[in-house]
Amino acid sequence: MTTDHTGGRGGATIGAAPAAGPRASRRAGTRRKLFDAAVTLIAEQGFSATTVDEIADRAGVAKGTVYYNFTSKNDLFEELLRDGIDLLAASLRHAADTTYRRGGTRIDALDAMVRAGLDFIAGSPSLTQLYVAELWRTNRTWRATLKSVRGRALAVVESVLRDGVDTGELSDDIDIPLTASALFGMVLVAALDWQSFQPHRSVDDVHASLSRLLQGRVGGAAAAVPRTAPAATAPPSPAALPLPATAP
Amino acid sequence: MTTDHTGGRGGATIGAAPAAGPRASRRAGTRRKLFDAAVTLIAEQGFSATTVDEIADRAGVAKGTVYYNFTSKNDLFEELLRDGIDLLAASLRHAADTTYRRGGTRIDALDAMVRAGLDFIAGSPSLTQLYVAELWRTNRTWRATLKSVRGRALAVVESVLRDGVDTGELSDDIDIPLTASALFGMVLVAALDWQSFQPHRSVDDVHASLSRLLQGRVGGAAAAVPRTAPAATAPPSPAALPLPATAP
DNA sequence: TCCTTTGTTCTGACTGGTCAGTCTAAAAGT
DNA sequence: ACTTTTAGACTGACCAGTCAGAACAAAGGA
């Protein structure tokens, strides 16, 4: 009753046994157990509805231990977030870099990042859920932490978009911050929905759907600019080639 | 201090004064005030962290009134959700229908729905935020309510996608449920992010970005199927015309 | 091998405060 | 006459955080 799930991918935790050689003081292990217990409980019930006693129980330690290792419930939560989302950013970065190293385009990199995002979420659904649930809340002390953490993940996506625009692979009229956040959101929600409501689908199914969306195989031509008077019921006009506009 | 915001679009409320003729018993008004107060508070702080006393205060009524109108805090919350999301589904439906009536294509309809979604969220950010924060939580009593409410909104998107496939406007190899949920997520997160982190942008900016994404003006060709060996750094291959596959 | 010592880590009963939900007698409102 | 709202005291449960001491390790000492 200690090990519990939280999914593969190191389920939102330490990442690397903190430096220390062999006998890495018990603390590290205890903190790990607490993270794992907390992430699932908070994802299920929310921060306020989860009690410190529950977390301690689930982790198999006494309540006092929580307070020996973290200064407060809040602190535990913030460290949890930092720890977890850093892993996501790292995994996105890695996906992009690997793609480049193999000679892929920026667009390949975006696609690889979508996949990495899906894999990550599949591995740590609780963490993701918790992140989404708390990200847009105002009036909460951890707002700053979340914002910075969000920035770190989005920065990776934005940098790939920016490269793509610079090299002419992507049309330069895209709005980088907005596009990055939309992409991020698309993956986030699609993945959560998949896990919650259509768990029988495979990652590949989901990935394929998102790729198609990204490639415009869904919303082909038409409606180039918002509020364009809709063309008559005429079939598809094959216009709207993706690509560069006025790029170098 | 009673009227508060919650935004235009009837800010998540009654929708239509419940049947009753002219003097629609005060209750309707009181419930409305309570909904408005609750939606903002819960969006900011979360369900558990929001107290009934706060809600009553903000609505300008006595605590007893809350319990005269709703059987519990939970009940108030569930009615709130139902009420609000029904409005979203209605607004999406309306956007699609209007587009058709004006001779637009299914793709125009999707675009109009994106716009309707953005407008709705801009008008009721709190409701949206609260919805996103709670949707994927397991172990909460209102899970069923949320699920059904989600279904109702997605059904609208799915029906448009299905029509598009039937008429050949959309490639028939898209996965309708997954695509619908990804679209929904894209709009949801982009809108929340916009409100939270880039509030200076206009709806049109956001809409334009999403439209481009939908039309494949971002992720042009390449990576047609997940795991395609990335083509060399070669520039864009203008392939990937959206459209029909084997449709009639 | 079996203590002793010393610092670290863990324990769980306890405290002080908070909150959902109840209740009443009276006042509005229609 | 009937419905709805009021003010707020009260209760029983629940919970974050504390604290004095127990259990554990590592390193000697005999």
In chain A, what are the domains?
A: 27-214 (1.10.357.10)
Listed as ranges, residues in chain A with pLDDT below 50 are 1-22, 220-248
pLDDT at position B171 is 85
B71-119 pLDDT, tens digit per residue, is 999 999 999 998 888 788 889 999 999 999 999 999 899 999 999 999 9
B68 touches strand D (CB under 7 A): yes
Closest CA to A52 of A42, A148, A44: A42
| Alpha-carbon distance values, A57 to A62, A165, A246, B52 (Å) | 7, 51, 61, 29
DSSP classification of residue A225: S
C-alpha span between B230 and B232 (Å, rounded): 6
Please say whether the beta carbons of B232 and B159 come within 8 A: no
Chain B window 34-63, residues with Cβ within 7 A of nucleic strand C:
50-53, 63
Among chain B residues, the shortest Cα distance to A223 is held by: B108
| Alpha-carbon distance values, B161 to B151, B207, B246, B247 (Å) | 15, 19, 16, 14
Of residues B32 and A10, more confidence is placed in B32
B39-71 pLDDT, tens digit per residue, is 999 999 999 999 999 999 999 999 999 999 999
Residue B233 has pLDDT above 80, yes or no: no
- Give the closest of A108, A170, A233 to B218, CB-based: A170
Residues in chain B: 248
* Nucleotide nearest A53, from its CA to each C1': D15
B52 touches strand D (CB under 7 A): no
A164-211 pLDDT, tens digit per residue, is 999 988 888 899 999 999 998 889 989 999 999 999 999 999 999 999
Chain A residues in contact with B232 by the CB 8 A cut-off are 103
C-alpha span between A181 and A175 (Å, rounded): 10
